[in-house]
Structure 1
Amino acid sequence: MKGQKGSYLNNKPKRRYSKLILLAVEAVLICAVVAGYFIFMRDFVHKKDGNSVKQEQNASGGKNTSGKGDTKVSTTPTPTELTEEEKREKEAAELLKQADAYAVQYDYDKAISLVKGFENYTQVKVLNDALSGYEEKKSTLKRFGAYDSADQINHLFFHILVADDSKAFDGDYRQKGYNYYMTTIPEFNAMLEQLYDQGYVLVQLHDVAKKVKNKDGSESFEPGDIMLPPDKKPLVISQDDVNYYEYMKEDGFARRIILDKDNNPTTEMLMDDGSVSVGDYDMVPLLEKFVKEHPDFSYKGAKGILALTGYEGALGYRTNDANSPSYKQDQKTVKKIVKVMKEKGWEFASHSYGHRDMGKATYAFTIKDTDRWEKEVGSLIGPTDIYIFPFGIDIETTMGHYSSKKFEYLKKSGFDYFCGVYKAPWMQIKSDYVRMTRRPMDGEAMLKFPERLKDLFDLSKVIDPNRPKWED
């Protein structure tokens, strides 16, 4: 018993100490929980107040309206805001898109100038890389590209395109003329594809030969400075009689040029049920579409030349009829369309007023015809120095210098470029004018003289199967 009692007395203090330790641990745990709670509440309240301030800022345009003068507003950018560096990178990227658009059409000078106009462009890597690329490509360009001189450049011309061959080639008395002079839309599209694949590039007539001012103050003409890659071939395209004559409107042709909802030139066509359809029914919208899809087919935005007579108005509007109830509005419409088209790289030419043989025309008739064209058509399209001869018949047959009074009057009327028709390229650049022949892309050339086009096309892939056989 003595031994057991001693054992009990010896263990009693240890139990008391163990109990104290447990109480201490519990106290520590309670303190930790309480402290955690207060920390949580502090952070929660702080976050709530911060959101309130931010909401008040947004509602008041960024100003502190809480009434607490010492409230601090965070200056950290929101996810929708861009830093100055990010803004600059975005501006550089947008500028580069525009510069690339110039470069793809061989206007490297404009692309280079655009990049160098960007503030501190040397500090932007993408701009420096692009600039090096532009300058390198520019250094490889050659005057006239694959050609050695301007007189090798082709000038191809079309009449109004056949949009519905079932109407144009329906066996009536007009079929033979359409088969002789016209090109169908499928044929035109096939030609564009082959020209593009062979490296042809559209240029303006004023690119081919340009007017320069001499040291003595006089003016003269000289070959242009078309700078293209060595494998590219300059090409001029024009279209005659872009008037959409009345006799054609029910034979499967467009009836006039209009501007669409995006202010782009397109065409209207009269349908069988009397409705009017808007679409790619002639050369203008087709060429616009092709260049949009193949921007490198155009040198600095060049498109084509539209040659207009006057005796049935212009572009499908009867601006020759002063008694028409829409006469004034039609004049305004033509002016608006022409303005837009010029901005898009199109040029305009006189095709005479009455479409007569100007080789046989008298001097008096030449004056009358030219003056009337200027009054009724020139007043709408603005100044032009291009004269495209009706039927391709020149005012003179001389291979030397023009010498007739007819030339003197046309020159006095502002015409410097004169275009006839021949089976191959031919050009004459004189001090006071330029002559250039055009090659017809019509049924006669394709069916009767296919050898004349073999340097341009594989006609087996061009000729419309719905085109009638040739009849002499």
Structure 2
Amino acid sequence: MRRFTALLLAVLTLLSLTACGGQDASVPEEDTEDPGGEPVEVLPPEPEPYDILDPTVMPEGGVRDGVTYVAYDGIVEHLFFHPVIAYPELAFDGDAQANGLDDYMVTVDEYNKILQSVYDKGYVLVDIGDVWSETTGEDGQPKMVKNTLYLPEGKKPLILSYDDTNYYDYMLQNGFAYKLIIGEDGKIASWGKDPQGNEVVSRDLDAIPILDKFVEEHPDFSPFGAKGCLSLTGYQGILGYRTQTDTKSWTEAQEANRQKEIEAVKPIIAELKRTGWTFGSHTWGHIRLGTKSMESIQADTQRWFDEVGSLVGPTTILFYPHGERPDGNDWQNTGPVFRYLQSQGFRVFASVGIESFSYIKKDICAVICDRLHPDGTTLRHSRDRYLQFYDAKDIMDVAVRPQREIDWA
């Protein structure tokens, strides 16, 4: 339907130009001049319409676009990634970072194969913010409830989240994209440098535009328009833009550059939000919530609101850095750190585990959940656990990774 609408608009535009004696559509826009002889500004392409739908509402009659929808109350699986490795030869070059990147990242090729596999296995994307809702209990107190999702018949829901989509300095020399940009086609792309130092703009070298393209090619993978939730710190800016401050020393020149970075990232944020991406906190400084003092956690949280939340907007999602739970065990304890974070508006608290576990807390309005982590560690050592999503034997690019132990080899 979207393609038909776009084609119809193009035909109508061409007909109107012909009827009004407009210029030949084959004349390049940059050669166009106004009656005064001045070049006419070439505007960026109009973005294609993008629909975001609510998976908690059954389509009228139970059918949408010929697809039957049914109620789903089972487990909502959750996979998370770090930024993906665009150039394995830079990531796995034997330096001090190589083994860590091997443990915690996947390559572009592996990521593409994982997406194809979960699609083939019948998963569809849902946003983490649609899985649970805040409501009022019979006692008049707020509480969280798990929502019934209405999915295409035979499909299973999948949340995707992406930690550290900040493009830290260490990543720039190790084979990752440098930042997100809006390309000439008006779509999100990555900007970076290849191993030879050449600048590269692409939609094929970073997890975010790769998923955008995959959904364009397989719209049934995202029947509600959802993509993923971007888990952001703030200590080296966001999305590749250095929007952070340094409280130890800060000059007027640094602040002027920071303001330029802020203005540059705003349209990126807007386009991501328009096309189904959402945002969560990963704390400002990637701090350990189980060991830091209350004072440092409060200062870090405020700084995240000031420097990140002020740009991406409010969020109810908190992704624990290092997977470390506040107060030691957040599903059995609701200690002072958890209560503070909940008081700041967070309602869904996500850690890392061996299953897509979730638990609605009874003593406070909050949900805790675990998510699974496709990466080098689980590709090497957890093949059986991930077979419902993909087979590591088909995914792992052993030839480009360090030669380390693999359980299934």
Task: Determine if the TM-score, normalized by the shorter chain, exceeds 0.5.
Answer: yes
Distance 2:181 2:312 in 1: 15
Change (3 A) 1:102 1:285: closer
> Superposition pairs for residues 230-309 of structure 1, below 5 Å?
230-279=153-202, 280-309=204-233
> Superposition pairs for residues 111-130 of structure 1, below 5 Å?
none
Distance 2:173 2:149 in 1: 42
Question: Letter of the aligned partner of 1:309 in structure 2?
Answer: T
Change (3 A) 1:248 1:134: closer
Distance 2:64 2:200 in 1: 43
Question: Letter of the aligned partner of 1:354 in structure 2?
Answer: G
Are 1:142 and 2:67 matched, yes or no? no
Q: Which runs of 4+ in 1 moved over 3 A?
A: 105-110, 131-138, 213-219, 272-275, 396-402
> Superposition pairs for residues 178-193 of structure 1, below 5 Å?
178-193=101-116
Distance 1:404 1:132 in 2: 44
> Superposition pairs for residues 101-180 of structure 1, below 5 Å?
134=64, 137-138=67-68, 141-144=69-72, 148-149=73-74, 152-180=75-103
Question: Letter of the aligned partner of 1:467 in structure 2?
Answer: R
Give CA-to-partner distance per residue, 1:244-295, whole Å, 9 cap, x none. 1112112110001111223322111123454321112211100000001011
Q: Radius of gyration: which is bigger?
A: 1
Partner residue of 2:291 out of 357, 360, 376: 360
Q: Percent identity?
A: 36
Are 1:412 and 2:343 matched, yes or no? yes
What is the TM-score of this pair, normalised by structure 2? Answer: 0.78
Distance 1:188 1:414 in 2: 33
Distance 2:52 2:370 in 1: 30
Q: Unpaired segments of 5 or more residues in structure 2?
A: 1-18, 21-48
Query: 2:275: which partner in 1?
Result: 344
> Superposition pairs for residues 362-381 of structure 1, below 5 Å?
362-381=293-312
Do 1:207 and 1:225's aligned partners in 2 also have CA atoms closer than 8 Å? no
Distance 1:135 1:107 in 2: 17
More displaced, 295-304 or 442-451?
A: 442-451
Alignment length (residue pairs): 349
Give CA-to-partner distance per residue, 1:55-110, whole Å, 9 cap, x none. xxx99xxxxxxxxxxxxxxxxxxxxxxxxxxxxxxxxxxxxxx99x889x989967
Give CA-to-partner distance per residue, 1:344-377, whole Å, 9 cap, x none. 1111011111112211112112111111111111
Query: 1:448: which partner in 2?
Result: 381
Secondary structure (helix, strand or coil) at the match of 1:267 reads: strand
Do 1:156 and 1:438's aligned partners in 2 also have CA atoms closer than 8 Å? yes
Say which structure, 1 or 2, has more relative contact order (CA 8 Å, 6+ apart): 2
Distance 1:389 1:178 in 2: 20
Larger helix percent? 1
Partner residue of 2:133 out of 210, 224, 233: 210
More displaced, 458-467 or 217-226?
A: 217-226
What is the TM-score of this pair, normalised by structure 1? Answer: 0.68
Give CA-to-partner distance per residue, 1:25-74, whole Å, 9 cap, x none. xxxxxxxxxxxxxxxxxxxxxxxxxxxxxxxxx99xxxxxxxxxxxxxxx
Q: Unpaired segments of 5 or more residues in structure 1?
A: 1-57, 60-97, 113-130
Q: CA deviation at 1:179?
A: 0.4
Partner residue of 1:333 out of 264, 284, 287: 264
> Superposition pairs for residues 385-404 of structure 1, below 5 Å?
385-398=316-329, 400=331, 402-404=333-335
Change (3 A) 1:391 1:133: closer
Question: Letter of the aligned partner of 1:469 in structure 2?
Answer: Q
Do 1:165 and 1:252's aligned partners in 2 also have CA atoms closer than 8 Å? yes
Distance 1:136 1:327 in 2: 49
Secondary structure (helix, strand or coil) at the match of 1:254 reads: coil
Aligned-pair Cα RMSD in Å? 2.8
Q: CA deviation at 1:401?
A: 5.2
Change (3 A) 1:134 1:374: closer
Distance 2:93 2:388 in 1: 32
Secondary structure (helix, strand or coil) at the match of 2:359 reads: strand
Change (3 A) 1:108 1:213: closer
Secondary structure (helix, strand or coil) at the match of 2:191 reads: strand
Change (3 A) 1:424 1:334: same
Change (3 A) 1:132 1:154: closer
Question: Letter of the aligned partner of 1:346 in structure 2?
Answer: W
Change (3 A) 1:318 1:213: same
Query: 2:40: which partner in 1?
Result: none
Distance 1:132 1:160 in 2: 38
Query: 2:404: which partner in 1?
Result: 470
